[in-house]
Chains A and B, each alone.
Chain A
Amino acid sequence: MFNPNTKFLVVDDFATMRKVVKKVLTELGYSDIHEAEDGKAAFQLIQDAANGGSPFQCIVSDWNMPNMTGLELLKACKADAKFKDTPFMLVTAESEKEQIIEAAKAGVSEYVVKPFNAATLKEKLGRVYAKHNGAKAA
């Protein structure tokens, strides 16, 4: 599982959902949790963090947001060599099969459909960690 010092970025245009995700992450033992309210703000934070020598180690993002959607943010990260391997979860109300396929094609690490419970998010985080650390070991 991600170590307790993992630096997270939570992205959602609704403050309520940012609070919910942050609450679950905190209960799982994480404390270095940052927030952004849309993909554009998030991408700026991602770039700034990397340039400052303290990159984000896991991004948890909504899909449907103004200015830059979560899918666009995912694609922007994948297009940048500095961020393409950063674990990226979509946590979204969008649950149509075509959308899940689109996100998978864009390289999402895991897809969580809202509403979700703490156990589901924990399980998905575990899978993301295993996926990325298995890839690193290989």
Chain B
Amino acid sequence: MSTALKLSTLKHPVFEKLVVENICAGIQGTLAQLGPFKTEFKPHFFAATWQAPTPISVIVNIKQNEQPLQVRFHFDPKPVVEILEGMLGDKVDPESQDILDGVGEISNMIYGLIKTKASTAGFQFGMGRPEACFTKNLPTNVNPNGQSLVIPFTVNGGICHFEFIVFN
């Protein structure tokens, strides 16, 4: 269940259209290099309370000009397994710790390209180390002072989300 916030209440620069475009470019650019993965984006939305519908998540705690932010990736396991099996040449168990390690590295690569793309647009995001977990172990972002930008996307039809949380 999400609480949609009016655009007029969202003043943080990371929610600007240019940043959203750079995030999408980072996601699509990385996945295109990892194999024949078709990435399609759905309209992004804003929320104060949102629960990811997919079972695997990755958190990256970062800063932008001393503002604490959090990036979260939420993945459908099917495209993750396809990506990892392409990278490793081995079968991957979607319920094992191996998939968490793998999705951490995938997120690391995506975030690296997002950072580079955003920096060319003037947004300097700090380095952050991805930490992966099963989404059931991830707290919902319930923070009266927090706002999420959520970008849904599909990878070869598997539903994924990029979430950007700004803490006020």
Chain B binds chain A:
yes
Interface residues of A (CB under 8 A from B): 13-17, 19-20, 23, 64-66, 92-96, 113-115
Of all A-B residue pairs in the complex, the 4 with the closest CB atoms, nearest first, are A93-B112, A14-B105, A16-B102, A16-B105
A64-B129, A115-B30, A115-B109 given; A95·B101 CB < 8 A:
no
Q: Report the Cα distance A66→B128, complex, angstroms.
A: 10
**What residues of chain A lie closer than 8 Å to B127, measured between beta carbons?**
64, 94
Q: Report the Cα distance A16→B129, complex, angstroms.
A: 15
**What residues of chain B lie closer than 8 Å to A20, measured between beta carbons?**
87-88
- Indicate the size class of the contact surface on chain B: 20 to 34
Nearest A residue to B125 via CB reads: A96
Q: Report the Cα distance A17→B113, complex, angstroms.
A: 17
In the complex, what's the smallest C-beta–C-beta distance from B12 to chain A, in angstroms?
22
In the complex, what's the smallest C-beta–C-beta distance from B5 to chain A, in angstroms?
31
B105-131 Cβ-contact flags toward A at 8 Å (1 or 0)? 100110111011001000000011100
**What residues of chain A lie closer than 8 Å to B88, measured between beta carbons?**
16, 19-20, 23
Nearest B residue to A63 via CB reads: B127
> Of residues B34, B87, B105, which shows the largest number of chain A Cβ atoms within 10 Å of its Cβ?
B105
**What residues of chain A lie closer than 8 Å to B89, measured between beta carbons?**
23
